[in-house]
């Protein structure tokens, strides 16, 4: 069964790579296309890493028995969650219905969060590169632009008044206005909650978050699953969880690219069997995970 799952994943990784090649020249890219293309690259890299993990090489470690291989289902599980979150962010930024003014605010909040994260990490590392100072100016400009944008209604990122309130509270929380210690939230909802706007059944997102969190945070449940494995079939089954989820959200990410890029759409339209595969995984993500697992 796992072999079939891996075959699906590899097919879609190939399609994603083709889409990335066609859309990666940067020609006449809108702001949405630029941000979503970057997220799509994260999805592609994570998916490719999973393919590599599913084809383990023999005897990389001297102490391993000759001919033995290591199936790293713990990392596969963590990667599947990363692909899920990237897909949901892609959908939030590009596909969720909203007025253009709303989307501009959302993208400004996205950029503000990103730049502030860089400031926080640079401060921790003691990085004093010139670009750090330049980005502080960009942060100030973004804050001012968000404050001046005017009423834009309510949407996935919250009412405009709430955005201003969150922004004001965030600014007050900084011990030094010239040094960002905490990044502002770019949306008021978690990826798990926003997933429903991308036609993800709530049981999928809830199960994946709950299950993968145990491996991400090295909790007792993960440890007990590992020492409870009694043979190849148990390990095979646990690998299958991550592979199925990764394939489902890789398919969704390819769909998003097709919706924002004619070039991506042409790649997919030229492969009828892939259209059927994307439709299959879209139906799967709209139903309970029992149908998947």
What is the model's pLDDT at position 156?
53
SS3 for 167?
A: helix
What is the model's pLDDT at position 180?
55
Is the per-residue pLDDT at 273 higher than 60? yes
Nearest CA to 215 among 26, 81, 36, 89?
A: 81
Q: Per residue in 51-101, pLDDT tens?
A: 999 887 766 677 877 777 677 889 999 999 999 999 999 999 999 988 888
Percent of the chain with pLDDT over 90: 48
The gap between the terminal CA atoms of the chain, to the nearest Å, is 11
Report field, pTM of the whole predicted structure over 0.75: yes
Lowest-confidence segment of 49-53, 208-212, 222-226, 281-285 by average pLDDT: 222-226
Cα–Cα distance measured from residue 67 to residue 229, given in angstroms and rounded to the nearest whole number: 20
Q: Per residue in 179-214, pLDDT tens?
A: 555 678 898 888 999 999 999 999 899 999 898 999
Of 149 and 116, the one with more pLDDT: 116
């Amino acid at each position: 069964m796992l072999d079939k799952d891996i075959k699906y994943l590899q097919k879609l990784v190939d399609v994603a790579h083709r889409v990335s090649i066609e859309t990666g020249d940067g020609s006449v890219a809108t702001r949405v296309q630029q941000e979503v293309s970057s997220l799509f690259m994260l999805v592609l890299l994570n998916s490719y890493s999973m393919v590599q993990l599913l084809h383990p090489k023999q005897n990389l470690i001297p102490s391993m028995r000759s001919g033995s291989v290591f199936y790293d289902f713990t990392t596969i599980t963590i990667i599947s969650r990363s692909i899920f979150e990237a897909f949901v962010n892609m959908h939030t930024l590009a596909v969720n219905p909203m007025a253009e003014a709303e989307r501009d605010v959302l993208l400004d909040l996205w950029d503000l969060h990103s730049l502030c994260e860089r400031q926080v990490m640079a401060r921790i590392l003691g990085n004093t590169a010139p670009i750090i100072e330049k980005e502080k100016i960009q942060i100030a400009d973004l804050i001012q632009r968000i404050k001046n944008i005017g009423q834009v209604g309510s949407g996935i990122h919250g009412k405009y008044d709430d955005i201003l309130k969150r922004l004001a509270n965030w600014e007050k929380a900084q011990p030094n206005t010239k040094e960002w210690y905490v990044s502002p939230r770019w949306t008021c909802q978690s990826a798990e909650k926003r997933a429903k706007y991308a036609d993800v059944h709530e049981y999928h997102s809830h199960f994946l978050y709950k299950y993968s969190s145990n491996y991400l945070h090295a909790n007792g449940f993960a440890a007990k699953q590992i020492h409870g494995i009694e043979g190849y079939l148990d390990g095979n089954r646990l690998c299958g969880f991550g592979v199925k989820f990764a394939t489902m959200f890789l398919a969704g990410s390819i769909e998003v690219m097709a919706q924002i890029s004619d070039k991506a759409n042409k790649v997919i339209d030229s492969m009828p069997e892939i259209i059927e595969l994307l439709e299959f995984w879209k139906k799967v993500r709209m139903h309970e995970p029992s149908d998947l697992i």
